[in-house]
Structures are given as C-alpha cells and as structure tokens.
Structure 1
Amino acid sequence: MTTQTRAVDHELIQAAAEVARTRCRGDNHTMAAAARAQDGRIVTAVNAYHFTGGPCAELVLVGAAAAQGAYELDTIVAVGDRDRGVVPPCGRCRQVLLDYFPALKVIVGEGDRIRTVLITDLLPESYVWADHQLEAEPTALLSTG
C-alpha cells in the first residue's frame, strides 16, 4: 500500500462537525458527513439509524449529492456527534465509496494524526464494481481530481 500525504480539507471537517453539532439529535442521527464535489461545492448529510441497518452518513451523502447534481466527489469526511471528531468509514461505506468514486480522497485519523488518503488505501486489493463501466465512461471514472 502506497499512502501519500495529501492536504487535509479543514473546511470540510468543519462543515461536517457543524452538521453533527446542530442536526444530530438522539439515537437516529449520530453521524454527519461532508463531501467536496469536483466543482467545489460542499454537500452534507446525516445517517439514518435503524435497527435493520439504516444507511450511514456517507451513504446518505452519496444520494444527497446526486440529488443536487454533484455526481463527482473529490473528498469526504464523517464526524460523530457529541464532539467525537473524525470517524473513518465502515467497511460497507468503504466498498460503496470505492465503487462510486474510485479516486475519492477520505479524511481519517484523530487529533494531530488527521490525514487524507485515497479510498483505495482504506480498501486495498479490492474489486471495484465500477470496473464494468470503464469502457463506457473512462473519463468520469478515471479522473483524479
């Protein structure tokens, strides 16, 4: 695994933290996510906890971004409510994010160890479901942002 040092988008962390602080209430919404689209816009979302496995904030964000016409995401971060800070994506989210955005950058770590890594660094040696689309849409899936 070749992890490169990348700049941390602190504005994105602040956006997610603000949503976690102001919109996460009770047990149904405990995580917030923020992503920067390729065009610079920031999209935010919260999780929708449910005992059947409701979607994480990162997955809600994928749909919210699409609903706003932001189909290409550059960087994503999740933040927990009650000042828990940056929280790395779970395994399911890692796979979905890789499938939708193979060049996505993800902010992970805590305190002075916050860093930005590629989604492929979080899920090495993985199958990319989006591979089937490479022949039809090579520029959309191969852009590195």
Structure 2
Amino acid sequence: MTAQTHPVDHELIQAAAEVARTRCRGDNHTMAAAARAADGRIVTAVNAYHFTGGPCAELVLIGAAAAQGAYELDTIVAVGDRDRGVVPPCGRCRQVLLDYFPAVRVIVGTGDRVRSVAIADLLPETYVWADHQLDAE
C-alpha cells in the first residue's frame, strides 16, 4: 500500500462533533459519526449502546445513509461525546466499512495528527467478505 496525502474533511469532523455535543446524552448515545456521500451530502448518526452489543455510530450511519438513498460513502469519521474528539473505528466497524465501502476513507488521529486514510490501511491482510461470496458460487 502506498501512503498518499489526502485532505482531511474538517466539515465532517465538525458535523460529527456537533451531533456528539447536541445529541449524545447519557450512556446510551456516546459516539457520533458523520460521512460524506458520493453526491456530497453529509449523513450523521449516533451509536445505540446496549449491554448486548448495540451498534456503533458508524454502523448506525450505514443504515441511516441507505434510508436516505446514499449508497456510496466517500469519507467517514467518528467523534466521542464530552469533547473526546476523533475516535478510530473499532475492529468490527473496520471490517463492515471495508465490506460495504472498500474505497471509503476514514478520518483518524488527534490534534495536528488528524489524517484521512483508506479503510484498507486500517485492516492490512484482512479477510475480504466479497471473496468468500465468490467461493460460494
């Protein structure tokens, strides 16, 4: 994989931070996510914590985007409540993002080290679900 410099979508970070600040209350909603769809729209969502393993904000966002007709996402970011800033996706979210949007970029890092990286860079030597589907045919 070749490292490339891509601009960070600060508007996405601000959108997620605003949702985290205004919509994340209590223990049920502690993370917000924002993504830019291929058509330029910004879609936002919050996590739905539950002791049984409720979905992360990134996964809720995938469903919210589909409900709005946004089936291609270019860039995604998650931000924690209480001004925690950008939070990288967990392993499950990384795998789901790769399976749904193999070209999506993810904003990670903190402070002056915030950067946009390809989802594949967050999962080197990953299992590709689509490859498994080809084997089943």
Give TM-score, length-normalised by structure 2. 0.94
Distance 1:133 1:19 in 2: 36
Structure 1: runs of 5 or more not aligned: 135-145
Q: Hey, what does 1:43 align to over in structure 2?
A: 43
Describe how 1:5-44 pairs up with structure 2 within 5 A. Answer: 5-44=5-44
- Which amino acid in structure 2 is aligned with residue 22 of structure 1? T
- Whole-angstrom CA distance in 1 between matches of 2:133 and 2:101: 12
Q: Percent identity?
A: 90
In the alignment, what sits opposite 1:60?
60
- Per the TM alignment, residue 93 of structure 1 is displaced from its structure 2 partner at its CA by 0.2
CA distance in 1, matches of 2:110, 2:122: 16
Counterpart secondary structure, 1:13: helix
Instruction: Tell me the amino acid that sits aligned with residue 63 of structure 1.
Output: G
Shift of 1:133: 7.2
Number of residue equivalences: 134
The alpha carbon displacement at 1:46 in A equals: 0.1
Map 1:62-141; keep pairs closer than 5 Å.
62-131=62-131
Q: 1:39 to 1:131 in 2, by over 3 A?
A: farther
Partners of 1:72 and 1:131 lie apart in 2 by: 20
Deviations 1:64-109 (A, max 9, x none): 0000000000000000000000000000000000000000000000
Letter in 2 for 1:21: R
C-alpha separation between the residues in 2 aligned to 1:58 and 1:81? 14
C-alpha distance after superposition, 1:96-130 (max 9, x if no partner): 00000000000000000000000000001112213
Letter of the 2:78 partner, please give it: A
CA RMSD after TM alignment: 1.3
Unaligned runs of 5+ in 2: none
* Per-residue Cα deviation, 1:8-56 (whole angstroms, up to 9, x for no partner): 0000000000000000000000000000000000000000000000000
CA-CA distance at 1:132 after TM superposition:
6.1
State the 1:61 CA deviation.
0.2
When the two structures are superposed, what TM-score results if normalisation uses the length of structure 1? 0.89
Contact 1:102/1:128, CA 8 A, preserved across alignment: no
